[in-house]
Structure 1
Amino acid sequence: MQSIESTALEPTRAELSGLSYAQKLLRFLPVYGLVILTVVLIVLFSLLLPQTFPTVLNLRSIISDKAIIALLSLAAMIPMAAGRIDLTVGYGIVLWHILAISLQTVFGVPWPVAVVIVLALGAITGFLNGLLVEVARIDSFIATLGTGTVLYALALWHTGGRQIVGVLPEGFYSLNGTMVFGLPITGFYVLLLAVALWLVLEYLPIGRYVYAIGANPKAAALNGIPVRRFVIGAFVSSGTLAALAGVLLASKLRIGQASVGLEYLLPALVGAFLGSTTIKPGRVNVWGTMTGVTILAVGISGIQQFGGSFFVEPLFNGLTLLVAIGIAGYAQRKRGAVGKTGATSLASQNSTSRSAHNLQREEEP
């Protein structure tokens, strides 16, 4: 069996030994450059906008505005780790936040039951996406684009183009409106989910299997990994997280409308793509994704406080996505080159070992 190892491009201790500090810095810059840029932007905006940017009020605003995007980025990241993409994270949140409200206001469902129903529907949607991709063999981009469009159409049909409003219980409001240590509770939701995903992907066999599938599904299958099962599971996890984001969005807005939600798709994908360019370049990862979301939040907040126009945010997201995809593509090609080099080196070592063994046998009396 072939060994399954990470081929992310972070430098090893052996590679760093014997290098000068300047050379080590150059090796670390591609790995942690985005993290450093995030810190630089925070310091820069804090110095230029000392009255508004480095304040608790601004931190609360950033967390409140970007927590939903962070959840959707984590949701999109899971199928990406398996080499797939899920566009329903942006389309689905439109329907999920509407259902979370209409189940209570129109059908009289208790809010905890409504939340469970929405999460279950998100998981079912993810399962359907997994079947379309793995069983029907439809490209994940096309499959999830089609599924997402259907979800959006259902949202339009359910609302009839009108807002869904009504009296909601305080318990439902508290899902998003509670403050913990003076900060929105949604920030702690994101942190807990990020830690949980990080532990699963980095320290449990399931995470290694998902990354192996994303790197080379054929090799993963040859190693006995049930590719279909893990890919479907990745889509189910993504769908459930997207539904959770929809519930929290409903708790925040307190109304349901089909015109809200699609604007989250692009920044969510940007955050996930940026995640593959830092911490562990060449593959999506949790803390890289969190760094990507953070740099988007910091950059947009700073630009807006400078008086940026309404079009600045989509412009910033679009340009950042292009840069992120370019860097991710470069890292992916470099990772492939590293993998080929490693395989060639291993083959060379095996060949040398066999030659030495044969020579030893010839010299024996």
Structure 2
Amino acid sequence: MMKKLRTYLPLATLVVLMIVGTFLSDKFLTYSNLMNLLQFSAESALIAVGMTLVILTGGIDLSVGSIVALAAVVSANSQQLGLAGILVLVLLIGAVIGAINGIVLTKFRVEPFMATLATMAIFRAVTLWYTNGGPILGNITPAFSYLANGSVLGIPLPAIYVVVVFIIGYVVLNHTPFGRHVLAIGGGEETSRLFGINVKRVKIWVYIISGVLAALAGMLITSRIGMGEPRSGYQFELVAIAVVIVGGTSLTGGRGTIGGSFIGLLIFAVVMNIMNLLNISSFVQPIVRGLIIILAALAISRMLKSKASAGIA
């Protein structure tokens, strides 16, 4: 019963929001608007998939926003390497920082919150030092710009990325031993060890994946805006965590789905899109985002209490 509630409540919320959006604006259900909705969700989608895996193990990754910023400025400053060279460099940045997070919390037994809070601060500072606090206005090549601004058969490439990354995430979580190990660890580390799962290795890989996806998001931002902005990724970690939780994943780990995170992403994207269509101030929008998080937390809390009451009865 609890699993069904976690699945259908976010979906029902999304359907209601879609209906509301249709009534509030005649532009909402247009093809161009829906494509824009997905297009500008690409970076959040990448980070949300990685964050889902992290949270399912019972962890948290607060460093993703800083990884986004560092990858964004490095990719802007490395155009001479060509698209393939930039991609390798960005993947390396994400993998190294992710590995640092994983090693610190597994080998040195630092809590995930504290470990990634530290790397969040460190690599945000590294980014600002690298750029002297200003944007990198590099000569962005057409091939690099095409990554975020191109299209295939009229479909923006970032919209395709959103679908592809969630499909890959779904397959990894539900149809591979690694995905089963992620869920098992979130359900109980000691039990997982007894069943022969290398908990430390799985956790390190989860943070590497999160770091790599965050770095790719940073590269996409630079491709889209045409420069390396050191303040990129600000509060992305909070948005990603909210997306995952709104999608029904438990913060304690072990319970959640990639599909739920996809719905959570769409909920936030639809709300932001509706507010943009209604010309609501950008200063008000974060307030609405915060209210969504509170409402989601209350809904989950009520479901847990109802389940507990039913169990007692």
Q: Does 1:234 align with 2:227?
A: no
For 2:18, give the aligned amino acid.
I
Distance in 2, matches of 1:9 and 1:282, equals: 13
Q: Does 1:267 align with 2:260?
A: no
Q: Does 1:33 align with 2:5?
A: no
Q: CA RMSD in A?
A: 2.5
Q: Contact conserved, 2:72 with 2:232, CA < 8 A, in 1?
A: no
Identity %: 30
Q: Which of 28, 37, 40 is the matching residue for 1:65?
A: 40
Q: Which of 57, 76, 93 is the matching residue for 1:121?
A: 93
Distance in 2, matches of 1:174 and 1:155, equals: 25
Q: Contact conserved, 1:79 with 1:235, CA < 8 A, in 2?
A: yes
**TM-score w.r.t. length of structure 1:** 0.79
Q: Contact conserved, 2:52 with 2:249, CA < 8 A, in 1?
A: no
Q: Secondary structure at the match of 1:109?
A: helix
Q: Contact conserved, 1:282 with 1:335, CA < 8 A, in 2?
A: no
What is the CA distance between 1:307 and its match in structure 2?
3.1
Find the counterpart in structure 2 of residue 42 from structure 1.
18
Distance in 1, matches of 2:249 and 2:97, equals: 29
Q: Contact conserved, 2:136 with 2:229, CA < 8 A, in 1?
A: yes
Where do 1:324-363 residues align within 5 Å? Answer: 324-328=296-300
Per-residue displacement from partner, 1:75-115 (whole Å, max 9, x unpaired)?
Answer: 211111111001111121011111011122xxx32231022
The alignment covers a number of residue pairs equal to: 310
Distance in 2, matches of 1:241 and 1:326, equals: 30
Q: Contact conserved, 2:56 with 2:249, CA < 8 A, in 1?
A: no
Judge which range, 286-295 or 322-331, deviates more.
322-331
Find the counterpart in structure 2 of residue 82 from structure 1.
57
Q: Does 1:292 align with 2:264?
A: yes
Find the counterpart in structure 1 of residue 278 from structure 2.
306
Structure 1 pair 207/9, CA: closer, same or farther in 2 (3 Å)?
A: farther
What is the CA distance between 1:120 and its match in structure 2?
1.0
What is the CA distance between 1:334 and its match in structure 2?
8.0
Per-residue displacement from partner, 1:166-196 (whole Å, max 9, x unpaired)?
Answer: 2122111111111123221112112112111
Gaps of 5+ in 2: none
Distance in 2, matches of 1:335 and 1:221, equals: 29
Structure 1 pair 193/120, CA: closer, same or farther in 2 (3 Å)?
A: same
Distance in 2, matches of 1:201 and 1:48, equals: 37
Q: Does 1:255 align with 2:227?
A: yes
Structure 1 pair 330/227, CA: closer, same or farther in 2 (3 Å)?
A: farther
What is the CA distance between 1:66 and its match in structure 2?
1.5
Report the structure number with the largest CA radius of gyration: 1
Distance in 2, matches of 1:240 and 1:337, equals: 42
Find the counterpart in structure 1 of residue 2 from structure 2.
9
What is the CA distance between 1:129 and its match in structure 2?
0.3
For 1:37, give the aligned amino acid.
T
Find the counterpart in structure 2 of residue 159 from structure 1.
131
Distance in 2, matches of 1:334 and 1:216, equals: 24
Q: Secondary structure at the match of 1:262?
A: coil
Distance in 1, matches of 2:177 and 2:83, equals: 36
Distance in 2, matches of 1:228 and 1:336, equals: 32
What is the CA distance between 1:256 and its match in structure 2?
1.0
For 2:233, give the aligned amino acid.
G
Distance in 2, matches of 1:188 and 1:243, equals: 18
Q: Secondary structure at the match of 2:13?
A: helix
Where do 1:124-203 residues align within 5 Å? Answer: 124-203=96-175
Gaps of 5+ in 1: 1-7, 11-27, 342-365
Per-residue displacement from partner, 1:116-153 (whole Å, max 9, x unpaired)?
Answer: 11111101111110011101111101100100111100
Larger relative contact order (Cα-Cα within 8 Å, sequence gap ≥ 6): 2
For 2:182, give the aligned amino acid.
V
Find the counterpart in structure 2 of residue 360 from structure 1.
none
Find the counterpart in structure 1 of residue 75 from structure 2.
100
Distance in 2, matches of 1:230 and 1:333, equals: 32
Judge which range, 172-181 or 92-101, deviates more.
172-181
